[in-house]
Amino acid sequence: MGRTAGYGAYAARRLGYGVVLVVGITLVAFVLTHLVPSNPALVYAGLHPNPAQIARARQILGLDKPLYMQYLLFLRGLATGAWGISITTHGSVFQNVMTFLPPTLELVFFATLESMVLGVLLGVWASERPDGVADVAVRVLGAGLVSMPAFWLALLLQIVFFGQLHLLPLTGEYGGAYVLTARTITGFPLLDAALSHQWGLVGDELRHLVLPSLALAAYSIGLVARMTRATMLDALGTDYIRLAVANGVRRRRIYFRYALKNAIAPTLTVLGLTFAYSLTGDFFVEQIFFWNGLGSYSVHAIDNLDIAAVMGVLVVVSLAYTVVNLAVDLIRALFDPRLLVE
């Protein structure tokens, strides 16, 4: 009972920190975006507007109110879904974000999954024989992936796998043959194809996911591999692992049942951060692969100084960081109860 209460208090503290963080980020971003010289009402009103149309646009966008009142209304709108009106689409920013977010989340999910599986396996492999050939290879590969810009790797993957090997598609979420048959149910392209029982489309979308997800996951794979290697070496040096080895416990059981279980907590933290990193790094990748997601929407919003849309994207990213970090902290606390006394 005491541990349950302690876990609840720990979760409440972390949640409180997250709320303060999101509010602080939105405040700073709100001030900075309003310092940018622009006239959203003029853009919203269209070509060659008269003064009355501009004044009407200011009223619709809420720009006729004092700046502090605009921010307070913005905070209230976060809970109700009233995130403002986009000056480029003339629609609700919340609806726009909810339309473009699912394809991005699908891409980020696959990139994170690749980071977790490949990064952990490479890290465990490298830790088996420290300073051996595999260890050196993984460390060099990890350093290269961490230092390689995602947009450069994306172009390189396109050149190799599309231009030279002709194995994978160049851009888009699916091929042109499925344009008329693809259905939107949840907004997640791959899930919608499965729910529609269009298995050919599922296979085509998986092929289109390979290159952008790899480009997005490269940094995270290198980071997770290096972190897993380091934590595994620490775990393998503990007395209980030496005792297990002396008692003849199978090597695979020692690595994956005992050592990895105790080494995974720091890696989970890195995975949480890489998920949020992928959400922001995705912007460049989506532009290169013509992925119709939140990244493309945000770039369009920035190009047009669409402040409401930019703030909407920022809210999503900051919430993603907060929720993922909260989830990672709670999972770590399950593995390591000592965190509950912080």
Beta bridge partners of 11: none
Q: Which of 113-127, 212-226, 323-337 has the lowest mean pLDDT?
A: 323-337
- Whether the predicted pLDDT of 142 surpasses 70: yes
Bridge partners (DSSP) listed for residue 156: none
Q: Is the pLDDT of residue 325 over 90?
A: no
Q: How many CA atoms lie within 13 A of 16 on its CB side?
A: 6
More reliable by pLDDT, 251 or 114: 114
Q: What is the pLDDT of residues 90-113, one digit of tens each?
A: 788 899 999 999 999 999 999 989
pTM of the model: 0.82
More confident: 325 or 335: 325
Encoded amino acid at 132, one letter = G
* Angle subtended by helix axes 199-236 and 133-147, to nearest 10: 120
Q: Say which residues have a Cβ less than 8 Å from residue 241's Cβ, sequence separation at least 6.
A: 235, 254, 258, 259
Sequential DSSP letters for 227-268: HHHHHHHHHHTSHHHHHHHHTT--HHHIIIIIIHHHHHHHHH
Q: Is pLDDT of 42 > 70?
A: yes
Residues written for the chain = 342
Which domains does the chain possess?
A: 1-88+306-314+336-342 (no CATH), 99-303 (1.10.3720.10)
Decide if pLDDT at 175 tops 90.
no
Average pLDDT, the chain: 83
Residue (of 113, 145, 275, 313) closest to 215 by Cα position: 145
Task: Provide the pLDDT confidence category of residue 1 given band limits of 50, 70 and 90.
Answer: very low
Cα–Cα distance between 241 and 142 in angstroms, integer? 26
Closest CA to 123 of 216, 231, 214: 231
Tell me the mean pLDDT in the region 179-194: 86
The model's pLDDT over 61-92, given as tens digits with 9 standing for 90+, comes to 777 788 888 888 888 888 787 888 888 887 88
